[in-house]
Structure 1
Amino acid sequence: MPMREEVKLYLRRLTPLLILFLGLPLLSYLIWRFYPEKKLEVILVDKTVPNRNYREHTGVIWALNHGKFKKNTGADYLVDQDYFGFFPDGSQDKKGVVKDLEGKSEEEIKRLVSESDLVFLADTYGVYESDFGQVQQEKKIYGGLGKSEIELVRQAKDQGKYLIAEFNSMASPTSKSVRSEFENLMGVKWTGWIARYFDELNPEENEEIPLWLLEMYSFQGSSWDFTGPGMVFIRDSGEVEVFVYGLDYQNKVPLVRTQKMNKHGYKLPQVIPYPDWMDIVLVERDYQVISYYDIDPSTVGYERLKKMGLPRYFPSAVFREINGGRQYYFSGDFSDMDPNLGYHTFAGLPTLWRGFYVTADHTNRHSFYWNYFLPLLEQVFNEAGKKTP
């Protein structure tokens, strides 16, 4: 066969692949470009930004931009600019600068909220010396819910805006007085307990077991001799309880359950594992439960939960309608996300990633994001957007 014919045959065979790898992304991009733009002015608070990966709010910004939600100016949201909190500068000396609501008057915050549609408290835990190197004694640089954020929540509630708060909005290092104000405004009561699942409880085999946790447990006069999967419950008083999988509870990884036929209309997976930090809260009766945590405690585990003052099920995502707006509380570190989410400018990309990251895979944070958190954010953003003039 002549060389020219071989080349033609090769190109002919290559054409379907070129259409697949070049044509489909181009088509996806063009479809996204024709999506209608929507206005949604968001006040985002993230005080836990020790470096420039912005992992505590990058997933929120990605969702806004993929959904073509624009600021009042018509501009896109920028992950390194459009939030209140700590702004790292990459240096070991100065470390960063604080740009938040502190120092603003009640009238200024009132006006800021009046010009917005949604307030999002992503994380207020803060930034610490250990984020920038080894230290002998942990020291806070910046963090905790403050009076200015309390006024932000109050104004959002009074003005009937949408508000989302999630794990660590009110736990350590927030003061008890400020936390109490937050709880009263939100109708959410923290039990004082936070919890997290670990694939391996043996610290010699799992570097994710923090040293401070082992030290807190030793202060109780007990020896940490746990192995295998398990959950750790930590109280603000310093008490530590360890639940061993198979002995104290039956769902290896805590499950987030959403009823398929829920009256709220949220389209979410019925079951998805959640292995990260959560706070255990109680909510007022006017709240509606979107999802809840289920660890399936054994008889022994259930008795331990009762002694700890905790219920059989823990709220995961809840909301209530108030003054024409809505208050949401996500009692998990949902926004904590590996920043490598890819470009937001392609239609159907979340559907594609949901095919790659199955709901059962708890080892990759992207699985929880694409299958649960992003769909939840999209639905809340669309709800809030409908109220925008």
Structure 2
Amino acid sequence: MKRVAWIASSMVILIGVGLFVLHLKWENKSITVRNIYILDKTVFNSKYLEHKSFFWVLSNLHYQKPDGNPYRYDKDYFGFYPIDTELGTFDFRTIRLVEIDRMADSLDMLYYIDCYGVYSEDWMSSKNSALGQKVYGGLNQNDYLLLKGMKERGKLIIAEHNLFSHLGGGLEKEKLSELFGFTWTGWIGRSFPSFDTTKSNRPPAWVVNIYTTTQNKTWPNSEGGIVFVGDRDRVVLLINGHELEDSKVSIISPPSTVTHFGVKSKVSFTKWFEVIEAGPGLSTFSNFMLHLTPEGSSLLRNNGIPESFPAALGCSSGYQLYYFAGDFSHTPVYMATSEMVGGDLLNSAISLTLRPLGFEFFNGYYRPFLSKILSSYKAPNSSVDSLPPTN
């Protein structure tokens, strides 16, 4: 027994020393200084799962704010700040009109992670508010003007879904379509392993209500599949084994994207996505693909929904834009691994053991894609891009 205990203790010490060495190597990496505006209006609780993965990437790349401090996922963003879900108390941080030009001049880049907002059924655990009542959220005029100012200055813009759908509120989609050159079709969707409303990972109640009310049908309470919602008054269901050969939604990338961004050619995506159409001048890096039966193809065609549509697109002509047509930042990460060389491998190892939903997407697509964008970006008129390590 003593020998077993000694071996176990030695292994723990070796692992601890190894992790410490990896952290020291990370400390000795050069520091990149960037002034980044991060917006997330959809933060349901103090876990900050909606944007933590972006901060993981910033930390792993050793990014710091202009004041020399690291970016913190619980403080360094604009948007919704939860305080107490029982009491329904919260705070928010927003940009004022008089600040827009000054911030557009001083910022290096911005990332609009989620503009959808927080609704009563998601936020207040007491459930006292009416279903569907918005607590906070939606893209507003100041958010739009900052985007416009950043584009005019040639700064890096990264944004995700719910930027301009009316589900997220805010400006008419035509204004943003004109600004960025792509169009939202009015459809969003998501795959669900089960349509059983008693399960935890189920379609939200508002989807079920729309389906049963507008189509006068009974909700299929067992089979899983994909839900499409159009302008929040139409619901199309693709059921596994009927309209779908497989309920998974895949992101497919061509060899050029795989080589340039270091992503896998095919990954599964489990969060909300939207159906967009790319205009001229935009490059589509990856596409969403559904595993349809002939019946599924016919159902989508009858509802004007394409079988494949952009998942990630971008533009580098005069300004730099990357748009992710899905909830890409809402993926599982372990922040402790971000401050280590090889932290991506450690994060993958932990994820493989615990298997949280969406970990394959972060490891195989989001992290390498975003890391490539950030590492390749040269901020216009930036006075300092990188510094030697602090120790």
TM-score (norm. length: structure 1): 0.88
Q: Which of 112, 124, 148 lines up with 1:121 in the alignment?
A: 112
Following superposition, the deviation at residue 99 of structure 1 comes to 1.4
Q: Cα offset for 1:109?
A: 1.0
Counterpart check, 1:181 vs 2:172:
no
1:329 aligns with 2:358: no
Per the alignment, residue 109 of structure 1 pairs with 100
* Matching residue's letter, 2:262: K
> Where in structure 1 are there 5+ consecutive unaligned residues?
1-5
Cα RMSD, aligned residues only? 2.7
Determine the C-alpha separation between the residues in 1 that align with 2:247 and 2:255.
Answer: 22
Cα 1:93–1:352 change in 2 (3 A) is closer
**Aligned pairs (5 A) from 1:169-318:** 169-175=163-169, 177-205=171-199, 208-219=202-213, 220-225=215-220, 227-262=222-257, 265-318=260-313
8 Å CA contact retained: 2:182, 2:276: yes
For the residue of structure 2 that corresponds to 1:273, the secondary structure is: strand
Query: 1: distance between equivalents of 2:26 and 2:41?
Result: 32
Q: How many residues align?
A: 378
Residue 40 (structure 1) aligned with residue 34 (structure 2): yes
SS at match of 1:164: strand
Question: Which amino acid in 2 is paired with 1:295?
Answer: L
Paired position in structure 2 for 1:74: 68
SS of corresponding position for 2:91: strand
Who is 1:3 aligned against?
none
| Matches of 2:351 and 2:33, distance apart in 1 | 30
Rate the CA distance shift 1:352–1:174 in 2: closer, same or farther, 3 A: closer
Tell me whether 1:379 sits opposite 2:372 in the alignment: yes
Q: How far is the alpha carbon of 1:172 from its aligned partner? A: 3.6
Percent identity (aligned): 23
Aligned pair partner of 2:54 in 51, 60, 66:
60
Provide the secondary structure at the position in 2 that maps to 1:380: helix
Q: Which region of structure 1 is more displaced relative to structure 2, 349-358 or 225-234?
A: 349-358
Match among 16, 20, 28 for residue 14 of structure 2: 20
Mapped to 1, the partners of 2:11 and 2:232 lie a distance apart of 61
Secondary structure (helix, strand or coil) at the match of 2:338 reads coil
Letter in 2 for 1:191: T
> Does structure 1 retain, via aligned residues, the 8 Å contact 2:248–2:270?
yes
Alpha-carbon distance in structure 1 between the residues aligned to 2:23 and 2:141: 44
CA distance in 2, matches of 1:146, 1:57: 20
* Residue pair 2:337, 2:346 contacting (<8 A) in 1 also: no
Unaligned runs of 5+ in 2: 384-391
Range with bigger deviation, 133-142 or 190-199: 133-142
User: Is residue 98 of structure 1 aligned with residue 89 of structure 2?
Assistant: no
How far apart are 1:125 and its partner, in Å? 1.2
Q: Given the superposition, is the C-alpha separation of residues 62 and 279 from structure 1 closer, same or farther in structure 2, using an over 3 Å criterion? A: same
1:147 partnered with 2:138: no
Q: Secondary structure at the match of 2:255?
A: coil
SS at match of 1:342: helix
Pick closer, same or farther for the CA change 1:96–1:177 going to 2, 3 Å.
closer
